[in-house]
């Protein structure tokens, strides 16, 4: 991701704007550097002629609609004058800015029906490219499947279908929650894989949005949304499942840095995760829910050992994870030390609701398909088939 400093260096001759679906809005430094402002919740405005010399260029990323016009549009007018009806630019299009550029985001007049149609068309077009053949391989290997699901996550992000109900300030679309259900329905209907970074998207991101600092949001949310960084959730332990408050993995301050020692279990995606949202005890043993803190722990380090749990279907999607004096990230505490229980309860609410929405829709549609298939066969009295085979 380009930073404000790099952008400042580029000022003389080029601009690279990744404003797809509000991408720039959550980065105040970047926005300030390009003179971008959010107006009426729907527009990015790059109006300052000073930082855009005549020979500069805008490199347009996917899903950005760009409209040149020279008149001022009131943020509150609520309508776009006919003179500046948007024109869609192809990804990578290079345009010379004239005196004023408006970059309306594509969601200005949001319609759920249009959303569904566009999404369905996109899935029909893009899915074969994602799995490299006209139809999805019936039984991809585990690594292939993960790679395919990651490609799907990234394609969704690039096309603006990721983070639908997230606040626009964090790269989302501020769309109604119904759109998440429509995405799940259309993706299932099209045979798309389940989201790869689902722990990051559905569990960790809400924790960071709800309890993290501005620096946490700036550092971690975007790579979750585009699946550049995969997360796992280190809550459950061998002796702390339903009774989560009895967890004993311990965090200790050593020379000003928190270190983690203990064991987690059933940790989904931990074998491939870059970070773990981990609950550890920072209070006295027995302090129960009053002595727990939520940490960010990098997974790729000597202090972390992942031992996959092989299931009956040969999948190893979750593992045991052992922490031996493991290092935490810089600025590792999300929320307040000893107050991680509040975060945990909030996160579990997300886990059981919006995060499960996708799976619930999938299961429901699969069950209905099974019922339809079963309905195509004549009913048999129980035991009939068995007797006939004797
Ligand atoms: C597919 C899958 C993925 C998972 N991924 C993760 C993950 O990524 N990260 C993570 O941290 N965890 C994960 N978990 C763990 C999950 O959250 C645990 O299953 C949960 O914490 C329950 O713990 P347990 O399995 O030890 O069951 P237990 O706590 O041992 O419970 C077993 C049974 O006993 C019942 N029971 C327990 N206590 C009582 C009581 N006092 N009274 C009456 N009944 C009781 C429970 O309801 C349950 O039916 C995953 C689990 C599954 C199935």
| 94 and 130 inside one domain | no
Domain assignment present for 153: yes
Q: What does the alpha-carbon distance between residue 220 and residue 229 come to, in Å, rounded to a whole number?
A: 8
> Taking the CA of residue 116 as centre, how many other CA atoms within 13 Å lie in the half-sphere pointing to its CB?
11
- Given the structure tokens 């006209």, which residue do they identify? 134
Q: If we measure between CA atoms, which residue out of 318, 341, 340 comes closest to residue 232?
A: 318
In the reported structure, the alpha carbon of residue 345 is separated from the centroid of ligand 1 by a whole-number distance in angstroms of 15
Closest Cα to atom 12, ligand 1: which residue? 236
| 340 and 231 inside one domain | yes
pLDDT recorded at residue 28: 43
| 193-228 exposure pattern, b = at least 16 Cβ within 10 A, e = fewer | bebbbbbbbbbbbbbbbebbeeebbebbbbbbbbbb
Angle at 152 between CA 146 and CA 156, to 5 degrees: 150
292-323 pLDDT, tens digit per residue, is 999 999 999 999 999 999 999 888 899 999 99
| 63 and 138 inside one domain | no
360-371 pLDDT, tens digit per residue, is 888 888 898 889
pLDDT (average), residues 82-101:
32
188-219 pLDDT, tens digit per residue, is 999 898 899 999 999 999 999 999 999 999 99
Domain assignment present for 370: no
351 among known catalytic residues: yes
Question: Which residues, in sequence order, are bridge partners of residue 264?
Answer: 321
Looking at the structure of the chain, the number of domains it has is: 3
Closest Cα to atom 31, ligand 1: which residue? 242
- Enter the pTM of the model: 0.73
Angle at 382 between CA 381 and CA 383, to 5 degrees: 110
pLDDT (average), residues 3-14:
36
In the reported structure, the alpha carbon of residue 223 is separated from the centroid of ligand 1 by a whole-number distance in angstroms of 29
Structural domain range at position 316: 225-346
| Number of residues written out for the chain | 390
| 245 and 340 inside one domain | yes
Closest Cα to atom 27, ligand 1: which residue? 241
| 235 and 266 inside one domain | yes
């Amino acid at each position: 991701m380009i930073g404000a400093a790099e952008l400042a260096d580029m000022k003389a001759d080029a601009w690279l704007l990744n404003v797809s679906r509000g991408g720039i809005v959550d980065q105040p430094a970047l926005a300030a550097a390009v003179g971008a402002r959010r107006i009426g919740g729907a527009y990015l405005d790059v109006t300052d002629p000073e930082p855009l010399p005549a020979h500069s260029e805008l490199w347009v990323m996917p899903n950005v609609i760009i409209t040149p016009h020279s008149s001022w549009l009131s943020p509150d007018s609520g309508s776009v004058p006919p003179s500046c009806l948007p024109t869609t630019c192809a990804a990578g299009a290079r345009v010379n800015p004239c005196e004023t550029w408006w970059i309306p985001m594509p969601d200005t007049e949001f319609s759920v029906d249009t959303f569904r149609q566009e999404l369905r068309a996109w899935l029909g077009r893009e899915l074969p490219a994602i799995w490299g053949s006209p139809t999805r391989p019936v039984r991809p290997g585990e690594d292939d499947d993960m790679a395919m699901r990651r490609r799907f996550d990234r394609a969704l992000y690039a096309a603006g279908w990721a983070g639908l109900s997230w606040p626009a300030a964090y790269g989302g679309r501020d769309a109604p929650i119904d759109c998440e259900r429509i995405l799940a329905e259309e993706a299932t209907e099209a045979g798309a894989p389940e989201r790869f970074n689902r722990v990051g998207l559905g569990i960790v991101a809400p924790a960071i949005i709800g309890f993290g600092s501005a620096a946490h949001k700036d550092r971690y949310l975007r790579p979750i949304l585009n699946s550049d960084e995969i997360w796992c959730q280190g809550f459950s332990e061998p002796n702390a499942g339903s009774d989560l408050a009895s967890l004993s993995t311990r965090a200790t301050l050593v020379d000003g840095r928190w270190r983690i020692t203990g064991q987690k279990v059933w940790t989904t995606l931990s074998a491939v995760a870059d970070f773990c949202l981990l609950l550890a005890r920072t209070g006295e043993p027995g302090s129960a829910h009053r002595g727990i803190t939520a940490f960010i722990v990098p997974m790729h380090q000597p202090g972390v050992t992942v031992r996959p749990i092989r299931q009956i279907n040969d999948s190893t999607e979750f593992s045991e994870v052992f922490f031996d004096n493991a290092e935490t990230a810089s600025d590792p505490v999300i929320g307040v030390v000893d107050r991680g229980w509040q975060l945990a309860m909030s996160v579990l609410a997300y886990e059981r609701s919006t995060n499960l929405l996708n799976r619930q829709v999938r299961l429901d549609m699969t069950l209905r398909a099974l019922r339809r298939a079963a309905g195509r066969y004549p009913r048999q009295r129980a035991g009939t088939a068995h007797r006939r085979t004797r």
